Structures are given as C-alpha cells and as structure tokens.
Amino acid sequence: MGIFDIFNSEKKSEKKKPTKYKKNDVVYVIKDKKIAIFGFGDQAEAHALNLKDSGINNIVIALRENSKSISKAEAKGFKVMKLSKAASWADIIIMLIPFNAHYDVYIKYIQQYIVEGSLIGFAHTLDKVNELPNYRPDLGIFQVSTKLNGKALRKSFKDGKIIEVSYTVNQNNDNRHSVLPQHAALAYVLAIGSSSQDISHIADNKDPFSSTKNPIKQNKDVSDNENINGEQNPSQVGTGFFVDNKGHIVTNYHVVKSSKNNTKIIFNNDEIDVKIIAYDEILDIALLRAKVKNKNFIKFSNASPKKAQNILVAGYPYGKFISDDLKITSGIINSLKGIQNNTSMLQIDATINPGNSGGPIVDKVSGSLVGVATMKLNKDFTKAAFGTESENTNYGIKSSQVRDFLEANNIEISIKSNKLKIEELENSTVYIFS
C-alpha cells in the first residue's frame, strides 16, 4: 500500500497508531526519473550530490562542450551530456545556470529537444525567488527554494539538519505529466534539503502531497485544461492552413508532436481526422493530410518579405473556448531575423497567443504567405534580463523555409497574384486539436 492509499483510506481504526511519513515516502516519486542538472557550479554540485545521497542515481550534468566543469563533474562520479542531448533525454531538467542565461539556453538547447510533458525546475535561495516563466504549455514548470545554497547546503545536508524549504508551481501547468509538477517539486526539495528521514515538519499524520494546510509554502496548481466555464479543453490546440486543394495542411510541429496521429481539424463544421505526413523538428513545421475536398488554400509569393511590410495573422488564440470564430490581427514585419539572428524566422508585432501556433502570416494586400506563426517572446525573461517586459514581440517561420519543406516532400505550391479576400483566408485556415 502506497502513501496515497494510506491517506485516502475512508475509515481508519481509532486504535491504529498515526501514520508517520518519512522522506522516502515522498522522494520515491522522482527516484525512477531521469534528471538533468544544467550547470555545475557550487549550487549545482550540492544539488547533484544531495540527490545522489537521497537515493536518486539517474542523474546527468548538462554542460557546454568547452565547459571547464566537465572534468569536475566527472570526478564527482556524474555522467556529462551536451545541453541539447540532455534536454531530449531528461524527464526533469533543473536549471542551475545564471538566471540571465536561462532564456538563451532554453531557446537554443531545450525548446526543440525537450520531450512533451517533461518538467523544468528552477532553484533559488528563499530571498531570491523569481516569478516563474511561461514556457511551452505541455511542460511542467516549478521552482524550489532553500534557506541555504551551495557548500552551505551540502554541509547542512550531510549534518542531517532540517532547513526551511518551499516550492511554487506555474499555474499554466496542465495534466499531461508522468508526475505532477507539485509532487516532483516537493520530492525534489526534500531530496536536496536534508539527509534526515524526519519530515514531520511538513507531514505529521497528513499526506505530504495534499495541498490542504500544507506547511510548505506553495502555489495552487491550476490546470490549463480547465476554462472559465469549467469545461475541459483538448490536450493540445493550434492552427493550420491548407497549401493545396488536396487536403494538405501546414502547422507547427509542436502542435501535433504529442498527438501520435490522433489529431483532428474542424472543417465545414465537422471534425476530420488528419495524418502527419512529414515534419521538420528543427524548423518546427509539420505537414498533415486530411481526406477533404477543400477549394481554398494559401498561395505563395515570389517576392521576399521586407521590413515594415503590412501583414495579417489568422488563427485560434486560446482555442475555440473564447469563441469559435477565426481571429485575424494586423501588424508589420519588424525584423527579417529571429532570436539569436536566426535567418529562418522573422519578427512581427501582430499578436500571437497560445492557439495561434501554426497559423498563416499573410501579406495584407495580396494574401500571399509571408510566414507561419510560431512563438512570442516571454515577458518574464525580458523583465529579468533587461528590466522591462516585452510588448508584442512575436515570431514566425519564413515562407521560403515552408516552401523548401513542401517541395522536399513533393507538394506543389501555387503563386498568388490577385488581391486578398478575407473569405479565402478564413476558408483556408483550420482549427487543430488532439
């Protein structure tokens, strides 16, 4: 009988001794998880060693190829992996690199490699708690905080002292994780906090995983799958668009990555099954096929995009749970490069929100494809790094990249020469869910 069974028993004998929970009753939930610690400074070293001494052995240290800490980590008995490889391997990533480097590392080495439903944790001392970032909605985000850090934390752990700990969980987490973020956070903070088995300070006769009157400070986890009406959203929603009259659809790969070909679209008010034909994980593009006879589709232009070009973005921000009408926003092209000078992307100021992913960005005059909506810059990181929140800093994949991808997969494209018709744009854009 596990800890959940004990706590959820409806009837307990009055003569039975109260259950006294131990550290291992909580830590076991992450013992079989693959944990990648990014960085190996004093704090990361303390975390890794404390985890190991708490019985968690499936740990790797993620470092850059030229890092001076590689030999140090290996000397302590840890396996070292490159950043992107560790991101694709891990169930739980712990970010223990300088805070101002988090976003850069996430964009370059984590975002396109981390497996759907994995967790990302951040660690700080109690006086340096930061607001949690909003990454991909499928990722569980949590933060653990301890009274001590680095060598002091390691010494306190070895001495068996019990120190003050806390954790917070991002309210945007959903329910597609193998272990809930709040459970992983609690298990992790106890695993690094003390070698003592005594957890009476948080669990005296109560289920440690219960959020009710739990002495550990935490934020209530609110599922992103529950909307204001209490209805359940699909596990993943996005936007796509037809690129020919044979039912071929383009969207972002991250929209359909976890669907295992259980993806559908809404077309002519009917739910239609679609099949994933091809994808490019690096570019974040996927090609789908629906058995429909569609008249309208998005055409391409022979002209290259230009700065200050007027554009429209079509999509279903936040799915169909605000309204089922296609939303269209306008703006301009701000830059012909994306983050880290990525020339396969462009920056726009037309708003992109969750659910817009995979939608068409078209020229406002001709309606020809300019790009595919893919992401927006996170406000939390710009505030931390630059002292101010970003405003309408959004990105799309250039149509030239989409064109090459389609031609490589034997899909013929069409060139548009006439003027934009909103009705054509609406009939070419579809709602995607799984």
- Determine the Cα–Cα distance for residues 395 and 176; give it in Å rounded to an integer: 26
Number of Cβ within a 10 Å radius of residue 51: 22
- Determine the Cα–Cα distance for residues 35 and 103; give it in Å rounded to an integer: 20
**DSSP, res 271:** E
- Determine the Cα–Cα distance for residues 111 and 107; give it in Å rounded to an integer: 5
Enumerate the β-bridge partners of residue 375: 395
- Determine the Cα–Cα distance for residues 251 and 96; give it in Å rounded to an integer: 34
- Determine the Cα–Cα distance for residues 174 and 178; give it in Å rounded to an integer: 11
Decide: 163 and 171 in contact? Cβ < 8 Å. Answer: no
- Determine the Cα–Cα distance for residues 434 and 17; give it in Å rounded to an integer: 48
- Of the residues 47, 102, 124, 201, only one is catalytic, namely 124
In single-letter form, the type of residue at position 307 comes to K
Number of Cβ within a 10 Å radius of residue 307: 11
First-to-final CA distance of the chain: 35
Q: Is 124 one of the annotated active-site residues of the chain?
A: yes
- How deeply is 85 buried, as exposed, middle or buried, from its count of CB atoms within 10 A (0-12, 13-18, 19+)? middle
Enumerate the β-bridge partners of residue 429: 241
Residues with catalytic roles? 124
